[in-house]
Every structure is written in structure tokens, then in C-alpha cells.
């Protein structure tokens, strides 16, 4: 993912509300499964890490990205943004800016 594509996704994520909240129990299989389903449906999701969670948001973001096979867009404070393009190009909702090719 290029920096231009990442910036585009960040701009889209600014208007999103978190759909999952990671709390005291930290990451559970239910949260991972739910995030995976949300990524398949929406492609771009925002997750909030609550104050009562003792784990580092950056570590949580890495684990979720690995387990859902998604790309980490950003971690700001206790907010995580993940992106996973639709497996079927016809169902793709988000079209990323083209990456420039070197000549």
C-alpha cells in the first residue's frame, strides 16, 4: 500500500464510528470473528480500545491485522483502522488511488 492510498483510507476513516470496542478481556475469538465479518462487508473498519484494556493498542492492531489478513491503516491513540479489499472485484466498495509506476 502506498502512502497516497493510506492517506485516502485515513480520510475515509475520519467519518467512521468504531464498530468494535476492545475492553478488559482484550482480544477474544468473538472479536476477531466479528472484525473479519465486518471487513468482508465494509472493507474499512474502525475499532476502539477502551481505557480499561491494559494491552497496547499498537500490539492489538498488529494481532487483529494478522488474524484477519487485513492491512493496518493507522493507530491513533486508542483507535485502530483496518482495511481489507473485497475478494470479488465486482463487490469492491472502496477504489484506491492508483499506485504510480516507475519508468
CATH number at residue 54: 3.30.110.60
- The verdict on residue 26 lying in a domain is yes
In a domain, 72, yes or no: yes
Structure confidence at residue 99 (pLDDT): 66
pLDDT at residue 4 is higher than 70: yes
Residue 12 contacts residue 83 (beta carbons within 8 Å)? no
- Dist CA 25 CA 27 (whole Å): 6
Q: In what order do the strands lie in the sheet with 44-49?
A: 20-22, 44-49, 79-83, 71-76
Domain-located, residue 39: yes
Q: Establish if 96 belongs to a structural domain.
A: no
Length of the chain as a residue count: 103
Band (pLDDT 50/70/90 cuts) for residue 3 is confident
Q: Is residue 42 part of a domain?
A: yes
- Which residue range forms the structural domain that includes residue 32? 3-82
**Per-residue model confidence (pLDDT) at position 102:** 58
Mean pLDDT of the 10-23 span? 91
User: What pLDDT score does 81 carry?
Assistant: 95
Helical pair 57-68 and 29-42, crossing angle rounded to 10 deg: 70
pLDDT value for 80: 94
Is 59 within a domain?
A: yes
CA atoms within 13 A on the CB side of 17: 1
Q: How many domains does the chain have?
A: 1
Residue 58 lies in a domain: yes
Model pLDDT for residues 43-99, shown as the tens digit of each residue: 999 999 999 988 899 999 999 999 999 999 999 999 999 999 887 777 778 877 776
pTM, two decimals, is 0.87
- Position 103 in a domain: no
pLDDT for position 1: 81
CA 69 to chain centre: 10
Amino acid at each position: 500500500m502506498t502512502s497516497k492510498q493510506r492517506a485516502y483510507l485515513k480520510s475515509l476513516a475520519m467519518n467512521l464510528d468504531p464498530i468494535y470496542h476492545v475492553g478488559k478481556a482484550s482480544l477474544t475469538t468473538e472479536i476477531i470473528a466479528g472484525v473479519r465479518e465486518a471487513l468482508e462487508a465494509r472493507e474499512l473498519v474502525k475499532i476502539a480500545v477502551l481505557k480499561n484494556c491494559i494491552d497496547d493498542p499498537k500490539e492489538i492492531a498488529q494481532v487483529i491485522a494478522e488474524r484477519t489478513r487485513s492491512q493496518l491503516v493507522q493507530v491513533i491513540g486508542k483507535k485502530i483502522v483496518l482495511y481489507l479489499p473485497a475478494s470479488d472485484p465486482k463487490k469492491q466498495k472502496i477504489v484506491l488511488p492508483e499506485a504510480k509506476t516507475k519508468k
